[in-house]
Amino acid sequence: MTSTLTGEQVTPFSPLQIGPILLRNRFIRAGANEGMTPDGMPTQALVKHHRDMAAGGVGMTTVAYGAVSPEGRTFNHQFHLSREVLPHLRVLTKAVHAEGAAACLQITHGGSFTMLKPDRGFPKTASSGFNAFGFLQGILWQTAMTERDMNCVADEFAQAARLAREAGFDAVEIHMGHGYLLNQFLSPLSNHRRDHFGGDAEGRSRFPAMVLRRVKDAVGGRIAVTCKLNQTDAASGGIDAQQAALTAKILERDGADLLTLSGGHNMHSPWALFGSPMPIDEMKAYARGLARIGPWVLGKQQPKGLRFRELYFLETARTIRKAVSMPLALVGGVKSLVSAERVLAEGFQAIALARALIHDPGFVNKLADGRLQQSACTSCNRCVMGIYDPNGVRCVLNAPNDPALSRRLAAE
């Protein structure tokens, strides 16, 4: 197969250079919340989950949703980067490396997308005003960040990246999508600023680009620095492919080693992240108090007749592919060898996926040796509800996770 971008002969199983690291193949386990840090610390289940991904053949596995500070968390059961968590993460990276894969840590800040009330004031984000998500948690308002706030948070991202390197991670992924803080700046749905951190797509990209530069400086080229980027918010008035392409150019200029192209917004279009309907009934069962309004509203907003199709972000991703020459990974429901090959044929360098691997961690090896051509994942999205389960994410078609593994890791 020939890449339309480089002309080189590549397959999904060809090695891939990302900044300073070489992946054994083009498959990346995408960052997707595992729900396996029930008391805010890594568990045996989290290590097993990513060890299984590595043993199953991926080139790199991404540990999701490591907050850069306690205030950056969205959930109580989310870990944040600290000296305390470092030895436990080191157990995980060693397990992944022992199976021949690279390990990436997704670093993030929730901004106003949080269930946790600050000790003082309101959650900080791009613009002040009513907090639609916070309302469901009894947090009615949000506060616009000052430039000093932005510098503090950029430094927190940098420190988180340093700790990730100390923990043995080969890469970090700065989360700029899905309605979290950096997307709150990038998206016109949430950024109504009139200073140079708002306005057009270039202005809205300034703070996320500052974070990228700060992280790059912090790790000094010793690990890869990647970004997860919304190519579309899939909501009226949100980021579109043209705006995302401009942001991608800025991130390329400022040294990102890879962009993972995703889409959809946790508040405005969560179904778009998955390309198929959300499990509304299960979401209602988990919701408590005012939060029960969320699934009800979602059920009203979710498009009728929505059906899964592979490569559901391909059309918008082509716009970004034309705009930059840097390596790009495409998310979007890859469940077959044919689709993985098409991703590369379209000029993208890597295939990022999660649900097919949650269903079968050995999916990549089985594609490689011919045991499989197509995943049996049904795209029902019921695995998503595992983030609220103390035993973590699992495919509902498989046996339950072992509750004995939900205990905190013993540090080395």
Q: Mind telling me the catalytic residues?
A: 180
Q: Quick check: 249 and 202 in contact, CB under 8 A?
A: no
Measured between alpha carbons, how far is 260 from 276 in angstroms, rounded to an integer? 20
* Rounded CA Rg of the chain: 20
Sign (positive/negative) of CA torsion 111, 40, 42, 163? Answer: positive
How distant, in Å, are the alpha carbons of 163, 216, 359 from that of 43?
18, 29, 20
Measured between alpha carbons, how far is 65 from 109 in angstroms, rounded to an integer? 9
**238 CB-near residues (< 8 Å, 6+ apart):** 187, 188, 189, 232, 265, 268, 269
Q: Which two tokens stand for residue 112?
A: 């106003």
Measured between alpha carbons, how far is 171 from 60 in angstroms, rounded to an integer? 9
**240 CB-near residues (< 8 Å, 6+ apart):** 232, 233, 316
